[in-house]
Structure 1
Amino acid sequence: MKEEKMTPRLASTARALWLIYLSLTAACAFAYWLFGMEPFDAIAHSLSTVSTGGFSTHDDSLSWFHSSQIEGVAILFMLLASLNFGVHYYAIYRRKPLHYWEDIEARSFLILVLVIVVVVGLMLRLEGSYHTLPPSLRDASFEVVSVITSTGFATVDFSHWPDFLPVLLIFVSFIGGCGGSTAGGMKVLRVVLLFKQGMREIRKLIHPNAILPVYLGRHVVDQRIMNAVWGFFAAYTLVFVVLMLLMIHAGLDQVSAFSAVATCMNNLGPGLGKVASNFQEVSSLGKGIAIIAMLLGRLEIFTILILLTPAFWKD
């Protein structure tokens, strides 16, 4: 598990994290400029990439540039921005580059991205959308990284991809990036702990008297942490269902309502159906629901829900 503190003083930690963030942004802007962007485009897109915001100076997003090098830069810095900035600190300040692989959340995130890219790339090739494998892997790499990091850049419209691929990418957005990053979603570490807890329960059914703690690396996860993760997952699911029902009431079909709430709560951007490109066709009520969903997703639900609890306002 990650160390409790990066530096003894909070101010020093904040300064180190800001320097890392600014350095990533500057390096991203330089790389964009090096591979053909105008200085304004390079700066604007670097700010949007490292913040995993996804805004572009062009309606066609990064597909406007028709450059595999620019797409490669975007993939690299979207991934870096979606790793825990504490991991960046230990890798850079403590000169421990292997910490990127030693950290279980970062390792799980990178492996997950690789697996999904391969699956999507192969499906695109087998379904006949691409005649050769390299172009399918190129588009799969960019779209998968853009979606899982909640950035939302686009080079193709994945909502028109065949088979289950559009829905798979929406589900991928629920995972998001690592904790302590700029990415949205539920965060990789929570998903890892949920998976480990699920596997423990299966083993408990086989060996009901066994003591089977959940491990994260070499450390046993405290049961209070597991309870907090399950509590977050339950709250996330409940809020999602309620917002989706409200979106349907606001006039969207089931697919559009599902993806609209998913893309808002996960701070992604693109969706499916009527919200594949934008929310222009969504009613005023639907847009209001989307605003609430975005706030709940960005502040990770509990921050908003606690404000609605009467006990919070008592002296």
Structure 2
Amino acid sequence: MQRLVQLPLFLLLTAIAAAAMYAPAIYGLRLGEHAQARAFFYAGTLGLTASVLIAISLSGRRRRTSGGVGNLLALLAAYLLLPVFLAVPFHDALNTTSFMNAYFEMVSSLTTTGATLFPDAERLPAALHLWRAEVGWLGGFLIWVVAAAVLAPLNLGGFEVTSFAEPGQGDTAADRQDGADPALRLLRSAAQLLPIYVGLTLVLWILLMVTGDRAFVALCHAMSTMATSGISPVGGLAPGAMGDAGTPASLGLGTSSGIAGEMVIFLFLLFALSRLTFSSDSATGQRQSLRHDPEFRIGILLVLGVPLLLFARHFIASFELDDGMGALAALHALWGGVFTVLSFLSTTGFVSADWSTAQDWSGLSTTGLILMGLALVGGGVATTAGGVKLLRVYALYLNGLREMEKLVHPHSVGGAGAHSRRIRRNGAFVAWIFFMLFAVSLSLVIVVLAGFGADFEQATVLAIAALSTTGPLISIASDVPIVLVDMSVGAKLVLCAAMVLGRLETLAIVALAAPSVWRN
């Protein structure tokens, strides 16, 4: 353990990525995909060898403690540079695409965005589908660990809403409570969260197989659900024909678990609404029960309220049609709305097979603007979900409610305890700053993408999908399909930068640019 603490974070992440390449190598060898298996085996072996040699060369040096900001800088470097290494076996195994496209796929997977340049799932071999899902799964676990070990001590990633300290600066009380070395804190958080993350993934995998999915499809969907990446080897959750899992060509499209599989995935998507659903280490600075957690309560309110409004809209519009819909079909339409709303609120992007049932019922299409709004709101703080985060929305809600109370009673004093008062004042102020930075980032990405030839609608959808880390929005929210592979290299690089910015959040980038960070 002590030797691992002495190694740079980027080197550890590189070694983990190299070791993870053996999984698609073994699976490709099992399916007879020898070219793909060799690409992953050689890249993994070379990566591990280089990591070990570098670790040996650094073993005699005394490591300088750079603090949590140093780990944040290493994390930024990992999101930008590590996909270069991850893309090597992907490019060699596919051998029909450019390295830029492979790099885009790996950035999208590592940031749990899930956007893909290959919408035709049958084009990629099974080993590459497994690699994309595995990289996304590892990226989800990385943000779990980083949230508790790096972002929380620096009051970033949503923790600034409930903290007295400024974003990017440690709270002295928290520092005294957990004064461990930042590298040791990372390893300790990883050791605590790894059994939970792996255990939940295994349980979901087994449940999806029980409901009818093939083992490979169930594993990819289980990893994508826990990481909220929305990566699927069969093109989504729509039902498809069964096939033998012996060769890549027999993977087919669609799933076999049906509505039972969607219900299972729905339960595990709830983990993206609040960190209290799986851990109580540092969610909001206070220990509280899940039913009193504001993030979880707002998330459930949106999951139930938005589908009911959509259902009512389709129900009213259906009176103009001659054909009615039975009670069972109406329930299917309602379920499709509930599942899809939670999926996009958690920035996963899975679409229910019953999502189109309500449209067939009333003849009205469901605008993609609703899904984009849900993705922008996002999930809970310190979860794998992206977006603005529910805690910031709650802080602005409390502040707005208090301002309306002051309109009626200008000299009143707000109550609800010191914790709520802090969220209403400092928390709302910082949350509003984040909203403004997010809006500026969104506008900038839209303008740059428009400069590379995208029209306004396409640029808006692409920018929201990248900054909220909800890649499936690209194929769902726009009326005209967006073909990512036809975009220029510059536009793809802009999207990669936007995905990294959406994953790390703007406040973290601003904190890295502060002069006090580089003073020492």
How far is 1:157 from its partner? 10
Q: Deviations over 1:11-38 (max 9, x none)?
A: 6654332222122111110110110111
- Distance in 2 between residues matched to 1:216 and 1:116, nearest whole Å: 31
2:369 partner amino acid: V
Which residue is 2:205 aligned to? Answer: 29
Equivalent residue pairs, number: 306
Looking at structure 1, the residues matched to 262 and 311 of structure 2 have their Cα atoms a distance apart, in angstroms, of: 16
C-alpha deviation, 1:185, in angstroms? 0.8
For the residues of structure 2 that align with 1:217 and 1:163, how far apart are their CA atoms?
46
Output the CA distance in 1 between the equivalents of 2:379 and 2:481: 22
Equivalences for 1:73-88 in 2 at 5 Å?
73-80=264-271, 82-88=272-278
1:178 to 356, 380, 386: 380
CA contact (8 A) 2:336 2:355 kept: no
Report which structure shows greater RCO (CA 8 Å, sep ≥6): 2
Q: Which residue of 2 aligns with 1:212?
A: 414
Instruction: Name the residue aligned to 2:331.
Output: 134
Using the TM superposition, name which of 240-249 and 120-129 deviates more. 120-129
d(CA) in 1 for partners of 2:513 and 2:479? 31
Q: Which moved more, 1:82-91 or 1:186-195?
A: 82-91
- Residue 42 of structure 1: aligned partner: 218
Determine the structure 2 residue equivalent to 1:305: 510
TM-score, length-scaled by structure 2? 0.52
Aligned pair partner of 1:287 in 469, 487, 492: 492
Q: 1:151 aligns with which of 348, 351, 371?
A: 348
For each residue in 1:123-172, what CA deviation from the matched residue of structure 2 results, as whole angstroms up to 9, or x when unmatched?
34444499341121122122212111111123459799645632111111
Offset of residue 112 of structure 1: 1.6
1:268 aligns to 2:470 (yes or no): yes
- 1:237-276 matches, within 5 Å, as 237-269=439-471, 270-271=473-474, 272-273=477-478, 276=481
Q: TM-score, normalised by structure 1?
A: 0.83
Letter in 2 for 1:153: F
Per-residue deviation, 1:46 = 0.7
Question: How many Å apart are 1:278 and its aligned residue?
Answer: 5.3
Partners of 1:52 and 1:182 within 8 A in 2: yes
1:295 shift after superposition: 0.9
Report the more deviating stretch, 46-55 or 250-259: 250-259
Structure 1 residues 60 and 163: alpha-carbon distance in aligned structure 2, compared to 1, 3 A threshold: closer
Tell me the alpha carbon deviations over residues 185-229 of structure 1, each in whole angstroms, 9 at most, x when there is no partner: 11111101111112222333333333336x589743253333221
Cα gap change, 1:218 to 1:229, in 2 (>3 Å): closer
Structure 2 counterpart of 1:100: 290
Name stretches of at least 5 consecutive residues in structure 1 with no aligned partner.
Answer: 92-97
Q: Does 1:224 align with 2:421?
A: no
Amino acid at match of 1:74: I
Counterpart code for 2:426: R
Identity %: 25
Larger Rg over CA atoms: 2
The worse-fitting range, judged by mean Cα deviation, of 191-200 and 220-229 is 220-229
In the alignment, is the contact (CA less than 8 A) between 1:83 and 1:180 conserved in 2? Answer: no
Counterpart Cα distance in 1 of 2:204 and 2:417: 32
CA contact (8 A) 1:244 1:258 kept: yes
Does the CA contact (< 8 Å) of 2:379 and 2:385 recur in 1?
Answer: yes
Any idea what SS the aligned residue of 1:204 has?
Answer: helix
User: How far off its partner does 1:108 sit?
Assistant: 1.7
What residue identity is the alignment partner of 1:88?
F
1:119 match: secondary structure: helix
Q: In the TM superposition, what whole-angstrom CA distance separates every residue of 1:28-57 from its partner, at most 9, and x where no partner exists?
A: 101101101112222121111111011011
- The equivalent of 2:261 in structure 1 is 70
Q: Is the 8 A contact 1:122 1:137 kept in 2?
A: no
Cα distance 1:163–1:60, how it changes in 2: closer, same or farther (>3 A)?
closer
1:195 equivalenced with 2:397 (yes/no): yes
Q: Which amino acid aligns with 1:175?
A: V
Gaps of 5+ in 2: 1-160, 163-172, 240-253, 282-287
